[in-house]
Structure 1
């Protein structure tokens, strides 16, 4: 799976704009957390390339880009968690889940 890396604050405005044409998925990943690694692996194993027709996926390494992670929580009015997925549509988070609640089929059902 080819995830776009979320590494800058400017990308958040791009994501909001993109989400008016196509759903955007943000995966917030803690590289030091085994639960995060398990959720990341599970999502990647299930992800199909054709899913990118309806969803643009972004990956955020929250340790390397803490400022971006904090801004995601603020901009989209969500409580910070990790791992965490946010599905953005029309500039707003329409679905969020974290930890073992991250489920590929459930994400797709919200698009």
Structure 2
């Protein structure tokens, strides 16, 4: 799992033609902390995947850019799956679980 903080880092991450997961999370929200732990577990179980995260408080411009550029309402926590540089799936709050991430991975592999 790698942290990203700006548009350049996101663009570099999305240059991979495969699947790219991004988690937007808040350091002050307990729901976000739970989602982060689920995402972290998923990432550890799938080291072959490109898994990134951003902390909304530290990367607000990037968080806003993702919402505007990809036409998805900003939420935190929010997991996003990019496939070939496009958003293929996203979920928020309690829907971010290791199980849901694993299911979407199987559906898009």
Q: Do they superpose with TM above 0.5?
A: yes
- Using the TM superposition, give the Cα deviation of residue 72 of structure 1 relative to its aligned residue in structure 2, in angstroms: 1.1
Match of 1:39 among 35, 38, 42: 35
Match of 2:80 among 86, 89, 93: 86
Gaps of 5+ in 1: none
User: Moved runs in structure 1, 4+ residues, more than 4 A?
Assistant: none
TM-score, length of structure 2 as denominator length = 0.86
**Aligned 1:53-72 pairs, distance under 5 A:** 53=48, 55-72=49-66
Gaps of 5+ in 2: none
> Does residue 103 of structure 2 align to residue 106 of structure 1?
yes
Q: Is the 8 A contact 1:30 1:83 kept in 2?
A: yes
Q: Secondary structure at the match of 2:15?
A: helix
TM-score, length of structure 1 as denominator length = 0.84
